[in-house]
Amino acid sequence: MSNYNYSSKLNIKDTEIAIKKLKDYFERDLAEEFNLVRVSAPLFVRGDSGINDNLNGVEKPVSFSIDGVNSNAEIVHSLAKWKRYALHEYGFNLYEGLYTDMNAIRKDEILDNIHSCFVDQWDWELIIKKEDRNIKYLKEVVERIYRCLKRAETYIVSLYPILEKQLSDEITFITSEDLLNMYPTLNSKDREKEACKKYGSIFIIGIGKNLSNGMPHDLRSPDYDDWDLNGDILVYYKELDIAFELSSMGIRVDKDSLVKQLKVTNNLDRLNLKYQSLLEKGELPFTVGGGIGQSRMCMFFLNKRHIGEVQSSIWTDEIIKECKENNIVLL
C-alpha cells in the first residue's frame, strides 16, 4: 500500500453525509428504472433451506443455533435465491421486482483495500418472460443499470465538485472467452485489469463455466445464475490501478440450466432442498437480478483508497497500521 500523497477529498463528516445522499439517490433511481419495490429481507436463513448463497462453494457461512429450531441459522452471504422465492410468495407480476438492503458477513474474505468481512449491497430481482432469457435482453438490463450509475456519479459530483468523474461514457461487453483470447498469458484478474484500462467500463459475460483453457473465469454458485447469461460490471479505478467490480448479476437458471450446472459441479443432491426442488418443478418465476455493492459504489464515487473509509468493519492490526501510515482514516 503506497500513499501516492493520498489525502481524502472529503473529511469524515462530509463523507458520512455524502454516503447517505449517494445511497438515497441511487436506490430511488434504480427502483424507478426497473419498477422495483423495497422489501424487508432476512439477515439469516435456515441452513437446510437451500436459500443461502454458496458463493464459490468454499466460503462457510457464520451459523448459530436457535432454541426450538431443528436447523442451524446461517448469516446470509447474499440474497440471490431468496429474492426469487420472495417474488413468487409475495405475488409480484411480470416486469415487477423488488430490491432490498443486503447485509452479510463473509468471514473467509481476504481483507484488503476493497474487501471486508462486512458486505453491503442492493440486492434486486425482476420477473421476466421466458423469451427474455437471452444475451440481447441481458445487455439491455446492464445498460440500464450503467445509466443509473452514470446518473449517480453526475449527482454526487454536482454536490461535491472536488470529486472526479471516472466512469466511461459507455460500457463495453466482452465474453469471458473473448477476454481469455485477448490476454491468453494473463490470469483472470489481470485480464480484467487490462480490459478495464483499455475500455474504462466493461461487462464480462459468462462467469462460472469452463473456458477453452479448462478453467472458469471465476467461480459462481451453480443454482442461481445461468452461466451463459450472467456477468460482472467492472470499472477501471485509477486511484488503485485496478479493475473494480461494482455489480454481479445475471438471468437466473431455469430448470434445464439448473440441472446442467448442478451436474457439472457434482451438486445434484441440492435438488432435494426446498428452493432447488421448486426450481426443478418450474414453480418459480423467470427472473433477472443481481447485487450492486453499496460500499463499493461509495468508495469509487467518493474517490477513496480503502473500503474502510466508507463502512465500519474490523481490520487486522497490520492493515490499521498501514492505513495510518498512508493517511487513510478508517471508520
Catalytic-role residue among 120, 123, 125, 232: 232
**In which region does residue 35 sit, left (phi positive, over 0), alpha (psi from -120 to 50) or beta (all else)?**
left
What radius of gyration do the chain's Cα atoms show? Answer: 20
CA distances from 159 to 9, 22, 295, 302, 304 (A): 13, 10, 19, 11, 17
Please give the distance of CA 61 from its chain centroid, rounded to a whole number: 17
Decide if 283 is catalytic: no
Decide if 158 is catalytic: no
Decide if 225 is catalytic: no
DSSP secondary structure string for all residues of 159-178 = H-TTS-----SS-EEEEHHH
Reported in sequence order, the residue ranges of the chain that DSSP labels E, i.e. its strands, are 36-38, 44-46, 63-64, 73-75, 97-105, 118-127, 172-175, 201-205, 225-237, 242-252, 287-293
Catalytic-role residue among 27, 74, 78, 106: 106
Decide if 232 is catalytic: yes
Decide if 245 is catalytic: yes
Catalytic-role residue among 225, 245, 254, 280: 245
Helices 12-34 and 135-159 cross at an angle (nearest 10°) of 140
Cβ atoms of 227 and 265 closer than 8 Å = no
The Cα 170–Cα 139 span in angstroms is 12
Decide if 112 is catalytic: no
Catalytic-role residue among 78, 116, 248, 261: 248
Catalytic-role residue among 78, 116, 121, 295: 121
Please give the distance of CA 130 from its chain centroid, rounded to a whole number: 24
The Cα 103–Cα 130 span in angstroms is 30
Q: Supply the residues annotated as catalytic.
A: 53, 106, 121, 232, 245, 248
